[in-house]
A and B are shown apart, each in its own frame.
Chain A
Amino acid sequence: MSDYTKRKSKEEVILSLKGIALEMHNKMERGNPPTMTLPVRSKTNIAFDKKLEVYKYGKKKTVRDATSLGSARQLLRSLYVTEFIEQMIEAGKSSTLREMYYISESWGHGKFGTQNDSNNLAEDLEIVTKCLREDFKLRPEEDGARIIGNVTFEERNRKGNWMRINCRDDVGDSGYGVPYNVESEKLKLITEDVDFIMAIETGGMFDRLVENGFDEDARCALIHLKGQPARSTRRIMRRMSDEWKKPIIVFSDCDPWSFRIFASIAYGAIKTAHISEYLATKGAHYLGITADDILAYDLPSDDLTKQDLNALDAELTDPRFNSGWWKEQINLMKEMGKKAEQQSLAKYGLDFVTDTYLPEKLSAIGLDY
């Protein structure tokens, strides 16, 4: 197991954070501008880790040093964040990234310019310290996923008690809401009676499958991804895959952005490549909608925009899509100049997706029901 999945004690977290301050201090003592060293975070610096079977940052490092005003400010912010996290850990509190952004108002020159600045910095600190955001007591703003299906979790509630929840019987129509922390100290996977887990991009399709009783008919758990899935969503899928040995099936729109959603689930996202082995589910399968499906099912489609085409081109040079099947799909899409939504299946009626499309697609990969 890597450094990330090993839970760290408070002291270890503070010590790793102080390592950042130490690098700066040592430089200054030697008469040099303070620095912070971190990997380059772009698609040019992600590579497939054969051992972990996910995409990780490569060897390219960037040194952020205080020779320009922008990076000097970023260094100062890191120190303010370090101080802030130390205080939170000692006080037993946590805060959202957004709260930290507002707290930075009082940090003078260490104040964040935008929320994005603070999010990026939290990721930088994770990378440099090999700690998790959760270790820093920083919570994301993003929504966790919803789950419906015959699976049972135990979640520790606010009072510190473990609560057992079956995601079919104990929840309403909106399903079980995944908390931001899905590590073992907060969430346990208890039992399941499903054959696979299906991750769905859009809420409309998720609700359609729930209404049609697809989870019971097909013996599966349904997860609503809510667009680009939050870390906790990807993490819980990874845990279900690891601990229950269930296949993860991804069902999304057919457009370049949905492909990226899949890539982040299956291979890791570029922004979080430092913790890919902890978030990515290597066996995840892209079920549809594929470019072939648009033709095979004669689905209503939209023209690709300029941005779509740029995104597709970018994917052709993205190492995560460097497989024959993906290249074929992407090139086919470019050729057609079309994209389609999941809900375009409604062309053939509300039940078409559960009666025809999904059974056919699942059967093709050996998941008959």
Chain B
Amino acid sequence: MTRFSAWSVFRNGLSGQSGWTRQWRDPEPKKQYDIVIVGGGLHGLATAYYLAKNHGLKNIAILEKGWLGGGNAGRNTTIVRSNYFMPGNRQFYEHSLELWENLSHELNYNVMFSQRSHISLLHSPGAIDGAARRYNTMRLTGTPDAEIWDLEKLKQNVPHLNYGPDCRFPILGAAVQKRAGTARHDAVAWGYARAADALGVDIIQNCEVTSTSRSGNSITSLTTSRGEISAKKVGFAVAGNTSRLWQMAGFNTLPIESHKLQAFVSEPLKPLLDQVVVFGVGGAHFYISQSDKGGMVFGGDLDWYKSYAQRGNLPIVQDVAECAVSILPCLGRVRLLRHWSGVMDMSMDGAPFICKTPLDNLYLNAGWNYGGFKASPASGWYFADLIANDRPHETIENFNLDRFAQGVSLDERGAGPDPKLHG
């Protein structure tokens, strides 16, 4: 693997880019692997990388039905934050943020993690108190960058928000996580792929799993579009397809419903907004940032009905535009360049699953709702830890399928068992 650096860019510039090689191999699948991760998205790629890196394991394959990073890895609004407060969630996302902070160096791939601050607008005294509980918990659990800003500080830092008298929900302040921000989503997938490949992981694209074979309480092999592949351990990390694969493994139901979430990008503009801004008030939910290329990247709620179709409908387009223009009135003339949608595996409490399954050698990574992007480094880290050690790390001990029967709650929103209300 050529090490990426300013030096290598310079040298290749002089040599007509002749020195660059494939960033990852395109191997033929072997007949047998020790560990097979199904799903070449961020979570699967990160898992394979950490299995090889942290646990020194070899003979690992990732099976991807299309092209790697082709699911929600490339369909999200790229926000990275750790402002969770429930035990388990808090430690997990904070660990993820710590991994993000050094990810470019770790992978030798610039994932452009921009710690530009994540700003949640607050519109009522009650909302300030609610945010205070969350951000106090962050501080007390070792996250020093959690702050509550008053209106003056907010105005200085984010000048173009609607502070005027016509604002339907006047802004009183903001809850801020300064180490949060955005990253270049595709680069994360490619960076993990390249680093995993360098450690010997076989990344096999265009390889769709069509059925599983079981012997006793174990999966013995997977039938794929590229042949039969046997595995000692199997991990599923297939957001948007979890239920289907679960049923292929011989099970019936999961605490998951698939919904679609739209995302939006505007035409490229010179810098206008330097942070990630989020608000949720009056039934609205909205988040926006500006990509390094200049496009305003934003989104809102789910389309509100279950769907596996990767295309959205107009009512949410209008809702999201209303949010955008209401909170940043100068966006009225800015034009929407593209909108698309992705399939989100919404869980019953908004929290994920990184857990063992009723089968001895099958492990599940699923239920990321629409917060999976920021989670991907830790998701891979803990899933690898689980697969390697065959027991869950204490941070993720509640990320299991049994928690609903036990009554354990990881419900950050308090929305209850209606998957479309989480996110």
A joins B in a complex: no
B contacts, CB < 8 Å to A? none
